[in-house]
Structure 1
Amino acid sequence: MEANLKKPRGVLNEPVQRSKFTLDLYIPSPDLEAYVEQYWIVKWDLTGQEPYMSEVLPHPSVHMTVEPDGAWVTGVVERKFTRKLQNSGVVLGIKFHPGAFYPFTGIPVQRWTGQTVRAEDVFGADAVAYEHAVKSLDSNDAAGMVTQAETFLRGRMPAHDPAVAEIRGIIEAIKNDRSITGAQDIARQFHLSVRMLQRMFGKYVGVSPKWVIQRFRLLEVADKLEEGQPWNWPQFAAELGYYDQSHFIKDFKSIVGVSPEQYVRNNGTGT
């Protein structure tokens, strides 16, 4: 088991959150790398303290988690994801690559967009056995937890689906190429019709190509703000594909919960 040393993206108000819980990331084994982006383990001990609301700006990924109150599958969360942490606990998560959860179920992923459902309702009794196996381990046994996750996935290894690799290539292009601002740009680059692209994303990713583009740009903006980089709202708005900064600020606030300027003040990262 190899740790993923990259800084996690999307954790809002990270300086504060770092004092409330630990987040460790782990790289999947080579045979599962096509499907799993990473495993993550969150641990907290707030015994005798007030509960804490953890906030994350989600990626276009499906997660499967084992938590104190059960095992769950969470589809793409379109707005800020919040979770109440109280007392003490540990969560094991499997973060699938965008588009890579569909082969495990054969059910269009948009069915779970914005929803969290019991893993048992998706995978049957196997999910219950998996939950029990993870919870039987010591909370510090990260290697054992990841092994259980990989054993569960290998027991349901899907047939090869070329669309998974194609979508991964599209996602990488969106992340790295700022000239991509709309579905038409993706369709042109990957020789697809816009309608075909939209159907593919609905089936495999669960959200539209435009949503994915804006989310990755917004994650980039959040990272810059966390790092204390000077802000330039018109520039950020243009990079996100907005025609003016007022719409960008409105959407930022609707997703994150505060305006960009307030977010900077809350984190003490103003320059």
Structure 2
Amino acid sequence: MSDLIKPSLGIMNLQQVTRKFQLSRVAPSEDLAFFIRHFWIVRWDLRGQEPYVQHVIPNPCVNLVVEPGRTAIYGPGKEKYGHYLHGQGCVFGVKFKPGGFYPFVKQPVSGMQLSPLSVQNVFDADPLALESDVLAQEDEQQMVELVEQVIRPKLPEPDAQVTFINEIIDYINEQPDVTKVDTLCDYFGVNKRTLQRLFDLYVGVSPKWVIKLARIQNAAETTDTSERPNWSKLSMDLGYHDQSHFIKDFKSIIGQTPDEYARQAL
């Protein structure tokens, strides 16, 4: 079953979404749910309109993207990225859970930031054939079933570290007062260096970055849903000791100051 986009998925300037494209997501089958968070489908029809760039806040997940000429498996980024939409089209994606892609390849996910992996090498799938088969479908569930058939033969055994990593990231997202990696180490009883190595290997980004991202995504979502955010209060609510530090972190990921982002959203 599919559902519509929600703010937590990192879409920037959420008010624009329904005017420019449709984005839905579909839950994976039970046997794949340990590794995959959801499948996502973007459709747009901008024929006769100006092209549009939709920016997305990065997240600590690996994505398998089926897109004409660009089908590949992409690691987590560290800055916002944009999808250039023009004419009419569709893109299909598989969002793995944080750490959920590592068991398929058993190599550091941090190495994927600059070098996407080939679906041919990982899943023995011809990217052109995958694009032709999947993107030709009108029914989303049929798209999902085709991609699940590609992934299923390579399905590894469940890895307890994936569960542990997701518990940590859930805790970060649910506890806005978590601002330091030391807090995670104390709460989960793990050595700091061990945690950093685990995230480098399985997630591809550091736990410090995940904490920073959670705070900034929270700020961006608040900006999307508030007419006039109180930046001073918001920065304090997110655990920042001063507003200037909050603005610096916001700009490092979003590429704009909070004020610039808020004005753009109007």
TM-score by length of 1: 0.90
**Structure 1: gaps spanning 5 or more residues:** none
Question: Match of 1:134?
Answer: 134
Rounded to whole Å, the distance in 2 between the matches of 1:17 and 1:127 is 28
Q: In the TM superposition, what whole-angstrom CA distance separates every residue of 1:59-87 from its partner, at most 9, and x where no partner exists?
A: 11111010122411111010001111111
- State how 1:252-271 maps to structure 2 within 5 Å: 252-268=250-266
Task: Provide the residue aligned with 1:174 in structure 2.
Answer: 172
**Equivalent pair of 2:180/2:208 in contact (CA under 8 Å):** yes
Counterpart-to-counterpart distance in 2, 1:210 and 1:61: 15
C-alpha deviations, 1:148-204, integer Å up to 9, x for none? 121122111112211011111111111111232111111111110000000000000
Specify the alignment match of 1:60 in structure 2. Answer: 60
Aligned residues: 265
What is the identity, as a one-letter code, of the residue corresponding to 1:201? F
For 2:244, the aligned partner's letter is S
> How far does residue 208 in structure 1 lie from its aligned partner after superposition?
0.6
1:7 aligned onto 2:2: no
Q: Distance in 2 between matches of 1:188 and 1:51?
A: 48
Give the root-mean-square deviation of aligned CA atoms: 2.0
Contact 1:217–1:239 under 8 Å retained in 2: no
CA distance in 2, matches of 1:151, 1:145: 10
Unaligned runs of 5+ in 2: none
- Corresponding residue for residue 237 of structure 1: 235
Secondary structure at the residue paired with 2:161?
helix
Alpha-carbon separation, structure 2, partners of 1:227 and 1:257: 19
- The AA in structure 1 aligned to 2:120 is E
Q: 1:158 to 1:127 in 2, by over 3 A?
A: farther
1:190-222 Cα deviation digits (max 9, x unpaired): 110000000000000111101101111111111
Aligned mates of 1:253, 1:149 — CA distance in 2: 36
Q: How does 1:185-264 map to 2 (within 5 A)?
A: 185-228=183-226, 230-264=228-262
Q: Which residue of 2 aligns with 1:143?
A: 141
CA distance in 1, matches of 2:252, 2:176: 23
Alignment correspondent of 1:157: 155
- Look up the SS of the partner of 1:93 in the other structure: strand
TM superposition shift of 1:230:
4.9
Q: Following TM superposition, by how much is the alpha carbon of 1:53 offset from its aligned partner in structure 2, in angstroms?
A: 0.9
1:128, distance to aligned residue in structure 2 (A): 5.3
The residue type paired with residue 77 of structure 2 is V
Q: Which residue of 2 aligns with 1:112?
A: 112
Give, in whole Å, the separation in 1 of the partners of 2:228 and 2:115: 36
Quick one: structure 1 residues 239 and 211, their matched pair in 2 at CA, closer, same or farther if it must change by over 3 Å? farther
State the Cα deviation string for residues 123-168 of structure 1 (Å, max 9, x = none).
4445555444314x33x22111011121122111112211011111
Aligned-partner residue type, residue 7 of structure 1: K
| Compared CA separation, residues 207 and 180, structure 1 to 2 (3 A) | same
- TM-superposed deviation, 1:36: 0.9
Write the distance in 2 (CA, Å) between the matches of 1:141 and 1:74: 25
Q: Give the superposition deviation at 1:7.
A: 1.3
Matched residue, 2:44: 44
SS of 1:4 mapped into structure 2: strand
Superposed displacement of residue 121, structure 1: 4.7
| Percent of paired sites with the same residue | 40
Alpha-carbon distance in structure 2 between the residues aligned to 1:124 and 1:111? 20
Q: CA deviation at 1:94?
A: 0.4
